[in-house]
């Protein structure tokens, strides 16, 4: 039994949470999560909650997998740690690298391990700059990213990211990182079809390459579907056009698949789904379903060949690169995904069902726009609907309607995240069609409560 008040008091006294305004949290105290099983969480008061966010986009195989804890335990008993810096290696890291090369898109045969997605993106920055250095292009260091992107919290990760609030703290971005607009149809696609807008949004990359000078541009990075920015699903014309532009100018393409990888969109990697052939792929989260921290970069043959054959020592790495316990957890997690055919289920069964049920929410008077892709989805809360989505009337920001809605969800046993007035989900891939029904009913109920609260 957990003494909620005592834990909350100690939490307030000692624990600085990530991305938290502690003063605003005030006296209320944080909710204490104590247990998980499948798609459900329980808090210290015994309340059962549908985890619509898979923790933080990561618990793909759901909670309570004893085979993962057993794999972790066995590895801890055998060899809890060893590094791979000084011409040493370990069995789980080698097996995982081999497995990742098998499930990765064609042309990916090497892996660089890190402890997180942020470190993976820092690795990308150093790798692409090193790649061009080795080829004799010492000025080719600029990386183009997008507004509202999230690529992590380290100095390079937050710089690649396009979150203004993050840039404002700590003097970011670091030099050599520039941003273009995001492919957000609702925000910028007025007067265009989605397909037209996809081409238009991709053209911003070409403009930026020409503005910076192709001799200075190293790479473009993007999340196939922007996650933390609010589940921004690009028009289907966007990524092929981005690929064409990268190919035209010979710049490297980095896909940050920290959220999209490991089945979330109904394919092992979203690059395959969107028909792109990146040179580097960042991964984390779903690789272990979050049970143990692990991240890294899948290194495509173009980059690997140059770094391995001509690059000499790459002066980069982490104590926990290739951590045997994390790699053991990942191997078992991937075995579960394969064994239970979770990727195929999201592609052919539960994904399409979730997409259909989620789209139905657009009939709610509060919902202006609802869209989804595989097991990510988002809906926009609006004050008044119009015939054309771009004409919907938004709520006054000061009302923080998204946060009001998130509160109703939280109190009624549903975790749904708010990004401004866009409500988003990314449920565990094990969610069944019956559980999707349960979740949609909860969401609809909480939309009703929010509507009754904020309608004017």
Residue whose CB is less far from ligand PLP, 383 or 417 = 417
Q: Which residues pair with 50 in a beta bridge?
A: 40, 414
Q: How far is the CB of 60 from ligand PLP (least distance, A)?
A: 14
Q: Are strands 422-425 and 376-381 parallel, antiparallel or unpaired?
A: antiparallel
Candidate segments 40-48, 110-118, 135-143, 194-202, binder of ligand PLP by CB under 6 A: 110-118
Length of the chain as a residue count: 456
Please select the residue that binds ligand PLP; options are 117, 183, 189, 229, rule is CB under 6 A: 117
Instruction: Name the token pair of 97.
Output: 């690298």
User: Can you tell me the distance from the alpha carbon of 108 to that of 255, in angstroms, rounded to the nearest whole number?
Assistant: 13
> 289 — phi, psi (to 5°)?
55, 25
Q: For residue 146, state whether it binds ligand PLP (rule: CB under 6 A).
A: no
Q: How far is the CB of 151 from ligand PLP (least distance, A)?
A: 5
User: Can you tell me the distance from the alpha carbon of 241 to that of 54, in angstroms, rounded to the nearest whole number?
Assistant: 31
Q: For residue 206, state whether it binds ligand PLP (rule: CB under 6 A).
A: no
ω into residue 173 within 30 of 0, thus cis? yes
Sheet containing 48-50: order of strands: 33-37, 40-43, 48-50
Axis crossing angle, helix 350-360 with helix 433-454, rounded to the nearest 10: 20
Q: Are strands 280-283 and 252-256 parallel, antiparallel or unpaired?
A: parallel
Candidate segments 5-13, 129-137, 148-156, 314-322, binder of ligand PLP by CB under 6 A: 148-156
- Chain residue at closest Cβ approach to ligand PLP: 117
End-to-end CA distance of the chain: 44
Q: How far is the CB of 405 from ligand PLP (least distance, A)?
A: 21
Residue whose CB is less far from ligand PLP, 258 or 381 = 258
Inter-CA distances, 48 with 40, 290, 369, 432, Å: 7, 20, 29, 17
User: Can you tell me the distance from the alpha carbon of 86 to that of 302, in angstroms, rounded to the nearest whole number?
Assistant: 25
Please select the residue that binds ligand PLP; options are 75, 90, 118, 237, rule is CB under 6 A: 118
Residue whose CB is less far from ligand PLP, 226 or 450 = 226
The site map against ligand PLP for 274-313 (x = CB under 6 A) is ----------x----------x------------------
Specify whether the CB–CB gap between 196 and 229 falls below 8 A.
no
CA atoms within 13 A on the CB side of 8: 15
User: Can you tell me the distance from the alpha carbon of 113 to that of 111, in angstroms, rounded to the nearest whole number?
Assistant: 6
Candidate segments 113-121, 186-194, 320-328, 402-410, binder of ligand PLP by CB under 6 A: 113-121
Residue whose CB is less far from ligand PLP, 29 or 317 = 317
User: Can you tell me the distance from the alpha carbon of 408 to that of 447, in angstroms, rounded to the nearest whole number?
Assistant: 8
Q: For residue 256, state whether it binds ligand PLP (rule: CB under 6 A).
A: yes
Q: How far is the CB of 282 from ligand PLP (least distance, A)?
A: 6
Q: For residue 116, state whether it binds ligand PLP (rule: CB under 6 A).
A: yes
Q: How far is the CB of 329 from ligand PLP (least distance, A)?
A: 15
Q: For residue 378, state whether it binds ligand PLP (rule: CB under 6 A).
A: no
Q: How far is the CB of 290 from ligand PLP (least distance, A)?
A: 9
- If DSSP codes are grouped into helix, strand and coil, which group holds residue 112? strand
The site map against ligand PLP for 217-236 (x = CB under 6 A) is ------x---xx--------
Q: For residue 259, state whether it binds ligand PLP (rule: CB under 6 A).
A: yes
Q: For residue 376, state whether it binds ligand PLP (rule: CB under 6 A).
A: no
Q: Which residues bind ligand PLP (CB under 6 A)?
A: 116-118, 121, 150-152, 223, 227-228, 256, 258-259, 284, 295
């Amino acid at each position: 039994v957990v003494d909620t008040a005592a834990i909350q008091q100690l939490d307030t006294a000692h624990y600085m949470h990530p991305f938290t305004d502690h003063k605003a949290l005030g006296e209320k105290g944080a909710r204490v999560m104590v247990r998980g099983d499948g798609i459900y969480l329980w808090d210290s008061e015994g309340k059962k909650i549908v985890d619509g966010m898979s923790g933080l986009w990561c618990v793909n195989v759901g909670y309570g997998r004893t085979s993962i804890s057993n794999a972790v335990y066995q590895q801890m008993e055998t060899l809890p740690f060893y590094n791979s810096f000084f011409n040493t290696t370990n069995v789980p890291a080698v097996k995982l690298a081999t497995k990742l090369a098998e499930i990765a898109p064609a042309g990916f045969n090497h892996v660089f391990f890190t402890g997180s997605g942020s470190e993976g993106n820092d690795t990308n920055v150093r790798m692409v700059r090193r790649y061009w250095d080795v080829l004799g292009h010492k000025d080719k260091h600029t990386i183009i990213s997008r507004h509202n992107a999230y690529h992590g919290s380290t100095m390079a990760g937050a710089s690649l990211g396009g979150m203004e609030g993050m840039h404002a703290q700590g003097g970011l971005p670091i030099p050599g990182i520039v941003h273009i607009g995001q492919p957000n149809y609702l925000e910028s696609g007025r007067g265009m079809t989605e397909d037209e807008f996809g081409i238009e949004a991709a053209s911003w990359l070409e403009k930026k390459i020409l503005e910076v000078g192709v001799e200075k541009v190293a790479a473009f990075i993007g999340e196939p579907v922007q996650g933390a920015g609010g589940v921004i699903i690009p028009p289907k014309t966007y990524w092929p056009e981005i690929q064409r532009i990268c190919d035209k100018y010979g710049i490297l393409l980095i896909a940050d698949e920290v959220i999209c990888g490991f089945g979330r969109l109904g394919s092992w990697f979203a690059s395959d789904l969107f028909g792109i052939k990146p040179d580097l792929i960042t991964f984390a989260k779903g690789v272990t379903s979050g049970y143990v921290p692990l991240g890294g970069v899948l290194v495509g043959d173009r980059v690997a060949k140059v770094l391995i054959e001509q690059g000499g020592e790459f002066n980069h790495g982490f104590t926990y690169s290739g951590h045997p316990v994390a790699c053991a957890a990942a191997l078992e997690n991937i075995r579960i995904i394969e064994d239970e055919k979770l990727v195929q289920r999201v592609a052919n069964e539960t994904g399409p069902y979730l997409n259909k049920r989620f789209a139905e929410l657009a009939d709610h008077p509060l919902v202006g726009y609802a869209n989804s892709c595989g097991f990510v989805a988002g809906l926009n809360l609006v004050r008044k609907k119009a015939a054309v989505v771009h004409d919907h009337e938004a709520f006054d920001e000061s009302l923080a309607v998204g946060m009001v809605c998130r509160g109703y969800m939280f109190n009624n046993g549903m975790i749904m995240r708010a990004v401004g007035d866009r409500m988003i989900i990314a449920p565990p891939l094990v969610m069944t069609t019956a559980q999707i029904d349960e979740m949609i009913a909860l969401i609809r109920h909480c939309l009703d409560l929010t509507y009754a609260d904020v309608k004017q």
